[in-house]
Chains A and B, each alone.
Chain A
Amino acid sequence: MKSAVIVFPGSNCDRDLAVALGAAAGRPASMVWHKDAALPPGLDVVAIPGGFSFGDYLRCGAIAARSPIMRAVVDFAHRGGIVLGICNGFQILIEAGLLPGALMRNQTLKFVCRDVHLSVETLQSPFTSAFGNQRVIRVPVAHHDGAYIADYALAARLEAEDRIAFRYVDADGDATEAANPNGSVGNIAGVLSDNRRILGMMPHPERLADPQLGGTDGAPMFRSLVEAVAEVA
């Protein structure tokens, strides 16, 4: 699996994401600067990391989504490429028009930084196929603007098309109000594009993808990607 991590001024999860991708693939991820106009040739996966690109000016992800490299990322996505956006990366993918809905200030108005439980809602994607029976995982969130907003029609469509990848749940797997850290509609924590090859999510699987980090609940996402790419090859 050939992967690249896009780096913006203010990205701060780029190295963690590169380590997780590199460990799963057995080859290092390329780091691509936001001012580059082109992606490295032959990529299988483009990953957009968390952080505070451009200081969250205007709206989170708004400036990054209009940077030169994003034109290449949008082209890559339109050709069916696999694109993963985590946290600020999710905000950037929404601002770039690659995923529907919007992300707004947390309902509590507080920055939330803690571990949450997620239910893996579908295995039908290149990001989630390897979760198998491990349907409730525990990974961290760290964000101020993570309330996923979708109107009734969009929420119903995402549900009907099996495009909700993750929901915030309690330890028993129930999507309760108390388990929702930010006020997201329907406890939605991650959504897939209509071709299922773009995933945006607020929680950070890359922060718990190695035993040395205190857990491996996020690791199956990176294994899923490697398997999905290998199947095609």
Chain B
Amino acid sequence: MKARVFVTLKTGVLDPQGEAIRHALGSLGFGGVESVRQGKVIEIELAETDPARAEAEVARMAEKLLANTVIENYRVEMVG
């Protein structure tokens, strides 16, 4: 199975990198960009074949390592 983990900053946590991207988009002429929030995508290949078990395992990985849950949210997507 393959899983994708999306790690994003929680609402309310300042994102200076997102803000820098917003400025750069503005200087490239893209108007009307009101806000940019950046994060990361982690792709994981698993030997597990049961989707529910695989998803639960990846959620445990996210809690323990992939995301810092003090400042970040995560979302797991199974891609088959």
Chain A residues near B (Cβ < 8 Å): 58-59, 62, 66, 95, 100-102, 104-109, 149, 183
Contact = CB atoms under 8 A, between A and B. Distances in A.
B8 to A, nearest CB: 13
Nearest to B20: A109
B14 interface: yes
B65 A58 contact: yes
Contact of A105 (B16, B65, B68, B70): B16
B71 to A, nearest CB: 5
Mostly, the A contact residues are: loop
A59 B16 contact: no
Contacts of B68: 59, 62, 95, 102
Chain B, interface SS category = helix
Contacts of A58: 65-66
A149 B71 contact: yes
Contacts of A102: 68, 70-71
Interface in B53-80: 64-66, 68, 70-71
Interface residues of B, number: 11
A183 B14 CA distance: 10
B13 interface: yes
B65 to A, nearest CB: 6
Contact of A106 (B16, B65, B70): B16
A107 B13 contact: no
A62 B17 contact: no
Contacts of A107: 14, 16
Given A58-B65, A58-B66, A62-B65, A104 B71 contact: yes
B45 to A, nearest CB: 18
A109 B19 CA distance: 10
Nearest to B17: A105
